[in-house]
Every structure is written in C-alpha cells, then in structure tokens.
Amino acid sequence: MTSIQQDMEEFQRQLSTGAVTRAYRALLAYMLDLRTHFEKNHPDFGVSGLYQGYMDMTYFAIFPPALKQRDLKIAIVFNYETFRFEVWLSPRNRNVHRQYWELFKDSHWPAYRVVPPAKEADSMVECDLANDVDFSDLEALTSTIETGTLAFIAAMERFLSEHQGTP
C-alpha cells in the first residue's frame, strides 16, 4: 500500500515529463470544442458548462426539451478509468433517480446499462460511445459521439413516451 506522499512523488515525476499535462490540456480542449459543437449544432438543447472533475470524469450536460421536462438530462462523459466516451441519462437529483428506477429497472437494452440508485450514482442509464479512443481524427470522433448521443436521446425519449406518455 502506498502512502499519499509516495503517490504525490509519483505524480510529480509523471508531470515532470510533460506528457500528462499535454494530454490533459488536449482532452479538456477537445471537450470544450465538443460542448461548443453541440451548442452550435443543436440550438434546441440547453448545454451546461464543462465539469473538469478529479481525473475520474470530465463531462458536460445537454438538456433536450422532452427530457428536461422530466427533470432529466444527458451527460456526455469522458471516463478516465475506462478511457472512453460515454453518454448517460442523468436525473436532476436522487429523488428523481428513485422515481425513474422502477420504470427502467426491468427494461432490457443490450447496448445500455441501467444503474440502480445509489449514493454515488450520477447516471441512470449509460451507453458507451467511443472505446479505444483515437484522438488523431477529432472530426471522426466528434461524429461518432454526436451520432451515438442523438440515437441514445431518441431511445430514451421513445421509451419514456411509451411508458409514461408525453409530459
């Protein structure tokens, strides 16, 4: 087991090479560009600011009107642990999560993960957008993320409409 001091020394060594700093800056710049892309190309969606996180996740939220009316949002997430982009259906708060849990828990989507309500849960339904991320072609990456996100939004809206009607 390492001590916090040993971890800090290793962190300093890694930062001194410059690669971690350059990669982190590039990732944040890309996420800001992706956020701007959604804001510009989907004006009917509200778009939040960028949450940089603690090197666990970096994300921004979008608010499609049909989901926002239900106190739900979509998070476009870079997950550091899995090193992939994901899209999440997220509740406004824990009470909303519990409310929708009953609706989602028995649904079976091969491509989606339904997340039970928990203290640390930020998502209700998750989908992988880009595994084995290739940052050498950002235009293709953006297209993959956008296409997957829009399909996910459509699936969530369709599911909620079928099970709850229009808000």
Between residues 120 and 69, the one the model is more confident about: 69
Residue 56 lies in a domain: yes
pLDDT surpasses 80 at 120: no
Q: Confirm whether 5 is domain-assigned.
A: no
- The reply to whether 121 falls in a domain is yes
Q: What is the mean pLDDT of residues 124-146?
A: 94
**63-80 average pLDDT score:** 96
Share the mean pLDDT of the chain: 91
Q: Is 94 a domain residue?
A: yes
| pTM of the entire predicted model | 0.91
Is residue 153 within 8 Å of residue 67, measured between CB atoms? yes
Domain that holds residue 63: 25-164
Among 162, 148, 69, smallest CA distance to 107 is for: 162
Residue 115 has pLDDT above 90, yes or no: no
| Residues whose CB falls within 8 Å of the CB of residue 144, separated by 6 or more in sequence, listed in order | 129, 130
**How confident is the model at residue 167, as a pLDDT?**
54
In this structure, is residue 112 part of a structural domain? yes
Instruction: Establish if 145 belongs to a structural domain.
Output: yes
